[in-house]
C-alpha cells in the first residue's frame, strides 16, 4: 500500500472553544470546555491528490478517502471492508410517494450489519496507532457489536455496557466477538454513566458517541460516498434516524471538507432527522428553537438506534439542522414497524426499524408539503432487518 497518499490530519480541535489537542495521545472531549473534539486536516495538501479521478482506482471501503481519514500510518488500519454501501434508486417505493428520485443507502450491508462499523473501524484503527488497548462504550445495541468485532480484528479489549432489554441478537454478537458485556438495567444514558465511572478510575478509554473524535470521522465517509455515487453532486434532502448524531455531524463535516477542497459549491442537502414519539429530544428542541436539547424522560421505542434520551452533541446536531434549512419530525411505533416491513417487501432491501422510521417520516413530510416530491432524497437504512427477527413479520 506504499503508493497510498498520506493522511493530512493536523490536530483535533474543539467544536466550541477552538482549543487544539494532540491526536498522538488518547483524547476524549475538550480539556478546556468539555465539548466535542473534531479532527482537522490540511485540506490544501489533501486537494493535491484527492479527486474523483484519483479515487476511482482505490480500495472499495471507507479507507479510499485516505487523505481525510485520521490515521497517519496505514499499517494501523483495522478493517473488515466497511463502507462503499449500495445507493439504490427505489422506483416502486418512490411511486407510492409520487417521488421519482427516492434513494435508499443500504447500510445494513456493512460488517456487523449496521453503519456503526464505519465509526468503530476508525476508532479501533486510531487506538492501534497510538497504542491504546482497552476501549469501553455504552450502546443501544449496534455500536457494541461493531466495537466488539473491530476489537477482535485489531487485538483490542472491548467493554460494552448495553441496556438489558436490547435485542438478543445484539447482546449475543458482543459476546461472540469476545468482548465483555455489561447489561445495564436502564437506557443507553445509564450505560454511559457506568462506562464513565469505569474509565475515571482505570486505564479504559471512553469511546461513547462524540465523546471521542474518531467515530464521526468514520461515519463522515457516508457524505463522501454520496458525493461519489452522485458523480460529484449532493442530493437535495437526506433523512436520518437520529440517535447520538455521529453520522449527521460527520456528513455535514464531510460536505464542508469537500467545499474547502474545491470539489463542491456551497449548496447543501436539507438535513432532516426523524425520531420516535417516545424519544424525541432533538425534534422537541428543534421545534422550540432551542440550541440545546433537554433530556427525554422515560424514553421508549422499539428502534434501539434512536432510543437516545440525552445526545451529547445536541448543540452540533441542532446547528446542522438550522444551517441546512433542515427539519425534524416524530413518528409512532406502528408507523415505524409498517415502514420497516414496507421497505423490505417493496424493494427487497432488508430494513431495520430505524430505516422504517424514515419512510414513515417521509410520508408525512411530502403529504404536508414540508418536503418537495421532486427532491432527490436519501433514506439511510442504517442497519439490517436480520438483527430484528422479532419485528420482521406481523404475529399471527
Ligand X SMILES: *Cc1c(COP(=O)(O)O)cnc(C)c1O
**Residue 85: contacted member of ligand X, Zn ion, none (CB under 5 to 8 Å, by partner type):** none
Q: Contact between 247 and ligand X (CB under 6 A)?
A: yes
Cα separation values, 79 from 111, 117, 242, 279, 326, Å: 9, 9, 25, 33, 33
* Alpha carbon distances (Å) from 297 to 112, 278, 300, 307: 30, 9, 9, 11
Radius of gyration of the chain (CA): 19
Contact (CB, 8 A) for 138 and 166: no
Closer residue to Zn ion, CB minimum distance, 32 or 386: 32
Determine if 245 is a binding residue for ligand X (CB under 6 A).
yes
The CA distance from 275 to 283, in Å, is: 7
30 binds Zn ion (CB under 5 A): yes
Give residue number: closest CB to ligand X: 305
Q: Which CB atom, from 129 or from 269, has the smaller least distance to ligand X?
A: 269
Cα separations in angstroms, 164 against 158, 161, 244, 319, 392: 18, 9, 19, 33, 21
Taking contact as CB under 5 A, which single stretch among the options 18-26, 140-148, 190-198, 202-210 is the one that binds Zn ion? 18-26
Identity of the residue, 33 or 300, whose beta carbon is nearer to Zn ion in the bound complex: 33
> What is the rounded CA–CA span in Å between residue 39 and residue 11?
6
Other CB atoms within a 10 A radius of the CB of residue 395 amount to: 4
Q: Is 136 helix (H, G, I), strand (E, B) or coil?
A: strand
* Residue range at the interface with ligand X (CB under 6 A); choices 161-169, 178-186, 245-253, 287-295: 245-253
Closest among 315, 352, 317, 321 to 337, alpha carbons compared: 352
- Residue 113 is a binding residue for ligand X (CB under 6 A): no
Q: Within 117-176, which residues bind ligand X (CB under 6 A)?
A: 142
Distance, CA of 157 to CA of 139 (rounded, Å):
16
- Span interacting with Zn ion, options 30-38, 120-128, 160-168, 353-361, rule CB under 5 A: 30-38
Residues touching ligand X: how many (CB under 6 A)? Answer: 17
Q: Please choose, out of 96-104, 242-250, 262-270, 322-330, the segment that lies near ligand X by the rule CB under 6 A.
A: 242-250
32 binds Zn ion (CB under 5 A): yes
Report the partner that residue 243 touches, choosing among ligand X, Zn ion, none (CB closer than 5 to 8 A by kind).
Answer: ligand X
> Binds 19, which of Zn ion, ligand X, none (CB < 5 to 8 A, cut-off by type)?
Zn ion
Q: How far is the CB of 116 from ligand X (least distance, A)?
A: 5
Regarding 246 and contact with ligand X (CB under 6 A), the answer is yes
**What span, in angstroms and rounded, lies between the C-alpha atoms of 360 and 337?**
9
DSSP calls for 22-56: -TTS---S-TTT---EEEEE-HHHHHHH-SHHHHT
Is 111 among the residues that bind ligand X (CB under 6 A)?
A: no
Q: Which one of 23-31, 58-66, 236-244, 371-379 is the stretch in contact with Zn ion (CB under 5 A)?
A: 23-31
326 makes contact with ligand X (CB under 6 A): no
CB of 99 to ligand X, least distance (A): 22
Q: Are 255 and 225 in contact (CB under 8 A)?
A: no
Confirm if 245 and 306 have CB atoms less than 8 A apart: no
Determine if 208 is a binding residue for Zn ion (CB under 5 A): no
Contacting range for Zn ion; rule: CB under 5 A; set: 28-36, 134-142, 167-175, 383-391:
28-36
- 94 or 141, CB closer to ligand X? 141
Residue 33, interface with Zn ion (CB under 5 A)? yes
Catalogue the E-assigned strands of the chain.
9-14, 20-21, 37-41, 87-89, 102-106, 134-138, 157-163, 180-184, 205-206, 237-241, 270-276, 327-331, 377-381
Q: In the window 274-333, what residues touch Zn ion (CB under 5 A)?
A: none
- Bridge pairing between strands 9-14 and 37-41: antiparallel
Which residues in this chain contact ligand X in the complex, by CB under 6 A?
A: 114, 116, 142, 209, 241-247, 305-306, 352, 354, 382-383
Binding site for Zn ion (CB under 5 A): 14, 16-17, 19, 30, 32-33
Amino acid at each position: 500500500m506504499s503508493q497510498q497518499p498520506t493522511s493530512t490530519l493536523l490536530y483535533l480541535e474543539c467544536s466550541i472553544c477552538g482549543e487544539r489537542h494532540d491526536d498522538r495521545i488518547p483524547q476524549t472531549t475538550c480539556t478546556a470546555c468539555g465539548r466535542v473534539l473534531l479532527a482537522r486536516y490540511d485540506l490544501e495538501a489533501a486537494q493535491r491528490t484527492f479527486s474523483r479521478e484519483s479515487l476511482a482506482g482505490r480500495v472499495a471501503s471507507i479507507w479510499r478517502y485516505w487523505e481525510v481519514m485520521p490515521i497517519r500510518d496505514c499499517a494501523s488500519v483495522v478493517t473488515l471492508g466497511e463502507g462503499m454501501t449500495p445507493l439504490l434508486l427505489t422506483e416502486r417505493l418512490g411511486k407510492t410517494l409520487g417521488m421519482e428520485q427516492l434513494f435508499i443507502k443500504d447500510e445494513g450491508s456493512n460488517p456487523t450489519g449496521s453503519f456503526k462499523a464505519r465509526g468503530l473501524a476508525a476508532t479501533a484503527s486510531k487506538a492501534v496507532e497510538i497504542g491504546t488497548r482497552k476501549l469501553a462504550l455504552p450502546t443501544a445495541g449496534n455500536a457494541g457489536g461493531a466495537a466488539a468485532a473491530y476489537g477482535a480484528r485489531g487485538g483490542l479489549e472491548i467493554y460494552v455496557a448495553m441496556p438489558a432489554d436490547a435485542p438478543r441478537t445484539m447482546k449475543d454478537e458482543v459476546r461472540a466477538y469476545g468482548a465483555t458485556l455489561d447489561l445495564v438495567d436502564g437506557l443507553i444514558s445509564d450505560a454511559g454513566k457506568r462506562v464513565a465511572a469505569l474509565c475515571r478510575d482505570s486505564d479504559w478509554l471512553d469511546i461513547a458517541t462524540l465523546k471521542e473524535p474518531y467515530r464521526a470521522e468514520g461515519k463522515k465517509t457516508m457524505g463522501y460516498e454520496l458525493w461519489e455515487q452522485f458523480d460529484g453532486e449532493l442530493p437535495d434532502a437526506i433523512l436520518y434516524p437520529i440517535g447520538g448524531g455521529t453520522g449527521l455531524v460527520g456528513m455535514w463535516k464531510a460536505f464542508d471538507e469537500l467545499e474547502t477542497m474545491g470539489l463542491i459549491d456551497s449548496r447543501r442537502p436539507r438535513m432532516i432527522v426523524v425520531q420516535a414519539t417516545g424519544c424525541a429530544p432533538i425534534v422537541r428542541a428543534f421545534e422550540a428553537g432551542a440550541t440545546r436539547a433537554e433530556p427525554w424522560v422515560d424514553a421508549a421505542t422499539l428502534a434501539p438506534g434512536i432510543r437516545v434520551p440525552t445526545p451529547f452533541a445536541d448543540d452540533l446536531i441542532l446547528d446542522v439542522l438550522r444551517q441546512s434549512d433542515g427539519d425534524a419530525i416524530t413518528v409512532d411505533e406502528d408507523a415505524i414497524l409498517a415502514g420497516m416491513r414496507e421497505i423490505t417487501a417493496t424493494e427487497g432491501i432488508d430494513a431495520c426499524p430505524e430505516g422504517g422510521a424514515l419512510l414513515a417520516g417521509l410520508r408525512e413530510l411530502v403529504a404536508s408539503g414540508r418536503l418537495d416530491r421532486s427532491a432527490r432524497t436519501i433514506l439511510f437504512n442504517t442497519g439490517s432487518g436480520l438483527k430484528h427477527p422479532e419485528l420482521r413479520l406481523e404475529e399471527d
